[in-house]
Structure 1
Amino acid sequence: MPINAIRWRKRLQQDSRPAYLMMAELIAEDIQRGELSTRERLPTLRDLAQLLKLNYTTVARGYAEAKRRGLIDSHVGIGTVVRGRIPGLPLRSGSSAEMTMNLPPEPLVNTLVQQMQQQAGEALANGGTHGYYELMRYQDFGGSNEARDAGALWLRSHVPQCHAAQVLVGPGIHGVLLALISMLCRPGEVICAEALAYPGMKVIAAQLGVKIQPLPLDDEGVSADEFEHACKTLQVRALVCNPNIHNPTTVSMSLQRRREIADIATRYSVPLIEDDAYGKLQSKPLPTLLSLAPDLTYYIAGLSKSLGAGLRMSYVCTPNPRLLQRTAGALRATTVMGSPFNAAMVTRWIQTGSAQAMLNAIREESGLRQQLARRYLAEHGAQADPEGFHAWVPLREDWNPIEVATTLRAQGLACVASAAFTTDADPPPALRLCLGGSIGREDLQNGLRLLSSVLDQPTPPLAAAG
């Protein structure tokens, strides 16, 4: 008999918790102690009910709870078997290994951090009392001339033709997307977006009453053929795409695909919104869509993915002065203005080179973390950009990503199921895993080891309870 019925009955009598929950605890304990082995058969529901002197329904609920926790599985013709031990992660301060929000890593560069803190103080103190009150007032819509100059300097590594006269300061990429889509589209009209996209796109579209036409992705980026088909058959008002280190798939659009997208947009006069949230992470970027379709492209780059999400600041490079004024009006209507305090700090960091130094440190740390990810996830087909800080982990076709993510969270690892990103309601079985944020390398390695062990299992985690 694979279970110690006497010990189980004693524990069930002594514990005040519901018997079905205690059954799951006892199974977990016996696996931990080595008394239950992987693939070992457990008694049938009826037999176990007799052994434990419980009713059939309680035992059925106990097995269902153990199944929900990923401890056991049921197979037709075999019965109920032990799945085995999946190592959990120790919880720290009541939290788990947080790999959901896509944040850059926090490099251990104390001297640089201290320097940036000092420069932030200098930026806020500049001009004495007058400077303080200057930052407390309403600013020019789209940012001060100094902030726009700094923005152009920041963007120039990836957009060589960028000038301050084309640049506006915004309160994060999301805020600029909201402003641009509200400017280009009316309720009921259509924009194209990738079939897997930044989740905020769905929120913006729903808020504005705009329809999203999803375009499939392949190894080169968003489908040019499907984009052209949409342009032919629908009155497309814009294409929103994420060409570099795509969120969530990590794919970067090929140069040939960029040229095809730019050519189609030009032939059909469809504006392009180039969401380049991750582009600054790439040390050798490909030409932007802005450079290939300069009269139609709104190029957006934020600081959230290159320095830190708390800055909530972005730059948008517009096609021409007339459209810059329209964009400034849309930003004013939807977000009023970006924070002058944030703009003052970031401008100072860009001017002194500290922003670039931190970006370099983030790239280096991201590279080290990607090496860890390859060690544990390469055999599972994970995709990642070597300079990025997230990974796209495919699952087997019969695995439910939401159930897998739920199981992982229960084990101490939080990641995001593909359903969060879908715009066509048909997400592939996959997970997005953030390798950055406040999590250290040791906790990251533990999380990757846990995920690898779950992916090694022969059957889906958290199969539906019977």
Structure 2
Amino acid sequence: MWRPHLVATARLKYLGIVDALEADIQAGRVSAGERLPPQRAIAEALGVDLTTVTRALNEAQRRGLVSAQVGRGTFVRDEPGGDEGAGAPLDLSMNIPPQPSEPDLRRILPQGLAAILASPSGALAMHYQESTGAPADRAAAASWLTGRVAGAASDRTVVTSGAQAALFALCALLLRPGDVVAAGAVTYPGLKAVAAQQGLALAPLAMDGEGILPDGFEALCRERAPKLLYLIPSIDNPTTATLPADRRREIATVARRYGVMLIEDDPYAPLRSERLPALAELAPELTWHIATLSKCATPALRVAYVLAPNPTAAIRLATVLRSSVLMAPPLSAALATRWIADGTLDDFAAGIRAENRQRQSLAVSIFSGLDFAADPEGHHLWLRLPQRWRAAEFADLAERAGLAIVPASAFAVSPHPAEAVRISLGIAPDRGVLEEGLTQLSGLLAQPALGARAVV
């Protein structure tokens, strides 16, 4: 059986896994027909999360290196490099927004870049920028943020190369190894990765259908004195919960009472029709608000904005960013500024919102009678499994059927997460493909659990 390893020079971890597998196949260290280890075993061997391995195996199938066989597993193909995409699994694990027909990203992205480069100041978009972001980009970001955070100002705004880079830099700026960070009992895996890298202690908070419980947050403040609370207040990843206005006010009050800093990671707010008060409005002196364009436009931009508590704090964050990512990609930042000015960014959010509604309606019809949480304007759902199923077992079964989903363990902060899986609806190329995949998942749920034994 293949011994998983990484090609260290690969641009991304999942590509490092694929490159290592391809090299081993070409060198004869792995034979045609060999069964690969289960995804969880590969993840544990390499010290990466399950979604990274899922992406790697999807790419391996796209390259024609392996094939998935229902009920058996993933095997090295007899003739690597066959038809690209043949038998490729449906990836319902990556939380990417669906691309609406209008605006057409493939059409307007090159048009926008060409217009920027043809402008009198276009050459500046190919130069190094300040780590806070170019003044025009900061001003545009503040203007866009004002729609959800009253009082957003350009001198408090930092342009970053994506929300994950912002989160890593914020934790490096605000925390020290051993500091306690409060988060939901299940939370964004990117936070777990940052905590592991920086030696932070994650403390789980109880959650219900509306998000974290303020009473539990206050109890934790008394018992463990967390330095920071991380939360996704709108369409939480993975639970899809949205904190109502009164609960947001309670959380802000508790944070102020105990002097706890807040990271408000709010990528899905532009997709919701209802505007709720941001924590950056309720406790501006404590809150760092992260707003990425990955969920309301496209992850291809690699642009996110951070609203700091004050101008001095924004400069301090830029200092940390300068030592890591240096700056946001200038062309992408300039394109985002252009889309903010001409309304394209809002059009993207509206188009994605409309497509999400269609896909969520499809999921409701297929999963009728099942226990799941979803926001009609979001692009993922949280499926709580029937009692006979364990999440890891169901995810393994889905993998063997050519469907990639993410079990609760990938998000868990507490030791015993709910038996649930996150299913992302956005990456499927169209609703027909999505319908086929969701129908297949529903059928798998009706099967006996893998651990079940016949009674004799």
Please confirm whether the aligned pair reaches a TM-score higher than 0.5, indicating the same fold.
yes
Q: 2:122 aligns with which of 128, 131, 151?
A: 131
Q: 1:456 to 1:398 in 2, by over 3 A?
A: closer
Q: 1:460 aligns with which of 418, 440, 449?
A: 449
Partners of 1:395 and 1:112 in 2: CA distance: 36
Contact 2:113–2:331 (8 Å) recurs in 1 = no
Helix, strand or coil for the counterpart of 1:334? coil
Residue 178 (structure 1) shift: 0.6
Helix, strand or coil for the counterpart of 2:165? helix
Residue 330 (structure 1) shift: 2.2
Contact 1:191–1:213 (8 Å) recurs in 2 = yes
Question: What letter matches 1:249 in structure 2?
Answer: T
Contact 1:69–1:407 (8 Å) recurs in 2 = no
Helix, strand or coil for the counterpart of 2:227? strand
The answer for the alignment partner of 2:113 in structure 1 is: 120
Contact 2:90–2:428 (8 Å) recurs in 1 = no
Question: What letter matches 1:131 in structure 2?
Answer: G
Higher helix proportion (structure 1 or 2)? 1
The answer for the alignment partner of 2:61 in structure 1 is: none
Partners of 1:92 and 1:437 in 2: CA distance: 15
The answer for the alignment partner of 2:274 in structure 1 is: 284
Question: What letter matches 2:344 in structure 1?
Answer: S
Q: 1:212 to 1:320 in 2, by over 3 A?
A: same
The answer as to 2:210 corresponding to 1:220 is: yes
Residue 220 (structure 1) shift: 2.0
TM-score w.r.t. the length of structure 1 is 0.77
Question: What letter matches 1:447 in structure 2?
Answer: G
Contact 1:454–1:461 (8 Å) recurs in 2 = no
Unpaired segments ≥5 residues, structure 1: 1-16, 22-65, 71-90
The answer as to 2:244 corresponding to 1:254 is: yes
Q: How many percent of aligned residue pairs carry the same amino acid? A: 39
Partners of 2:126 and 2:89 in 1: CA distance: 38
Question: What letter matches 1:333 in structure 2?
Answer: S
The answer for the alignment partner of 1:109 in structure 2 is: 102
The answer for the alignment partner of 1:312 in structure 2 is: 302
Partners of 1:323 and 1:153 in 2: CA distance: 19
- Give deviations 1:254-290, integer Å, cap 9, x for gaps: 2121111100001111111000011111121211111
Helix, strand or coil for the counterpart of 1:388? coil
Residue 124 (structure 1) shift: 2.9
The answer for the alignment partner of 1:163 in structure 2 is: 153
Partners of 1:111 and 1:460 in 2: CA distance: 43
Q: Larger Rg: 1 or 2? A: 1
Question: What letter matches 2:101 in structure 1?
Answer: L
Question: What letter matches 2:122 in structure 1?
Answer: G
The answer for the alignment partner of 2:189 in structure 1 is: 199
Helix, strand or coil for the counterpart of 2:152? coil
Contact 2:234–2:269 (8 Å) recurs in 1 = yes
Question: What letter matches 2:112 in structure 1?
Answer: Q
Matches within 5 A, 1:236-255: 236-255=226-245
**TM-align CA RMSD:** 2.3
Matches within 5 A, 1:239-388: 239-388=229-378
The answer for the alignment partner of 1:424 in structure 2 is: 414
- Give deviations 1:383-420, integer Å, cap 9, x for gaps: 11010010111102331111111111211211111111
Partners of 1:433 and 1:159 in 2: CA distance: 30
Partners of 2:85 and 2:311 in 1: CA distance: 52
Residue 170 (structure 1) shift: 0.7
The answer as to 2:166 corresponding to 1:173 is: no
Helix, strand or coil for the counterpart of 1:298? strand
The answer as to 2:388 corresponding to 1:406 is: no
Residues paired across the two proteins, number: 379
Helix, strand or coil for the counterpart of 2:367? helix
Q: 1:172 to 1:67 in 2, by over 3 A?
A: closer
Q: 1:446 to 1:92 in 2, by over 3 A?
A: farther
TM-score w.r.t. the length of structure 2 is 0.79
Contact 1:68–1:462 (8 Å) recurs in 2 = no
Partners of 1:432 and 1:125 in 2: CA distance: 43
